């Protein structure tokens, strides 16, 4: 399989990544294609996120079956309450920069672009606030790998790792809960947050 994320080998898929996807099982009843990413991780591709022409081929008795490969974008990647890795992918979103509407409908409404490329205006604003050591308010939109949280900070989803919760229980930061944070690292490839020094 070809890796679409460049020369850097990735061990875990992250939201926004584009990767190769290999079909393993086609589940007509649940309307899902179950497959494997370049990272070796299992993932699910809902029928609604498959390009229409490919979906027709997948349904053909002698069409594309297990072993078929194509590129997908990671819509969501997280660990559930039992620490099992869950990954949702889309073929249709490969060409889309903005695809937050595909994510869980319970996600807090915003203009979030959950990708690993930070929009320029978000990057400039975050760098300014980080330089001034400002505290900002974000909204928890889900779990992050390693026991952290994904936080909507306005037009971007940043990561608050378990180490940076600073005394706050991860269980108390459920989806939709507001949280005060500061910027830890800001780059065009992503933003991380911390609660260190937050009153």
Sign of the torsion angle spanned by Cα atoms 120, 77, 5, 162:
positive
Domain boundaries, the chain: 18-102, 120-194
Q: What is the CATH number of domain 120-194?
A: 2.40.50.140
Written as tens digits, the pLDDT of the chain (199 aa) is 444 444 345 678 888 788 899 999 888 888 889 999 988 999 999 988 888 777 777 765 444 456 788 889 888 888 777 778 889 998 887 765 433 333 444 444 333 444 457 788 888 999 999 999 999 998 888 888 778 888 888 778 888 988 999 988 888 898 888 899 999 999 877 889 999 988 7
With beta carbons less than 8 A apart as the criterion, state whether 141 and 108 touch: yes
Tokens of 101: 């509407």
Q: 120-194: same fold as 18-102?
A: yes
| CB neighbour burial string for 179-195, b if at least 16 within 10 angstroms, e if fewer | bebbbbebeeebbbbbb
> What is the Cα–Cα distance from 66 to 5, expressed in whole angstroms?
23
pTM comes to 0.46
Classified by CATH at the fold level, domain 18-102 comes out as: OB fold (Dihydrolipoamide Acetyltransferase, E2P) (2.40.50)
């Amino acid at each position: 399989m070809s890796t679409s994320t460049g020369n850097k080998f990735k061990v875990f898929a992250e939201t926004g990544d584009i990767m190769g996807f290999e079909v393993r099982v086609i589940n007509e009843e649940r309307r899902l294609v179950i497959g494997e990413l370049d990272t070796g991780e299992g993932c699910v591709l809902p029928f609604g996120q498959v390009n229409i022409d490919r979906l027709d081929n997948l349904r053909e008795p002698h069409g594309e079956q297990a072993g078929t490969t194509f590129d997908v974008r990671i819509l969501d990647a997280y660990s559930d309450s039992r620490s099992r890795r869950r990954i949702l992918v889309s073929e249709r979103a490969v060409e889309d920069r903005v695809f937050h509407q595909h994510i869980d409908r319970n996600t807090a409404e915003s203009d979030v672009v959950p990708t690993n490329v930070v929009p320029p205006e978000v990057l400039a604003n975050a760098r300014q606030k980080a330089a001034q050591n400002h505290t900002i308010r974000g909204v928890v939109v889900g779990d992050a790998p390693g026991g952290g949280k994904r936080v909507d900070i306005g037009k971007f989803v940043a990561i608050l790792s378990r180490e940076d919760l600073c005394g706050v229980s991860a269980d108390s930061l459920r989806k939709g809960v507001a949280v005060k944070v500061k910027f830890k690292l800001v780059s065009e490839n992503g933003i991380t947050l911390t609660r260190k020094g937050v009153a």
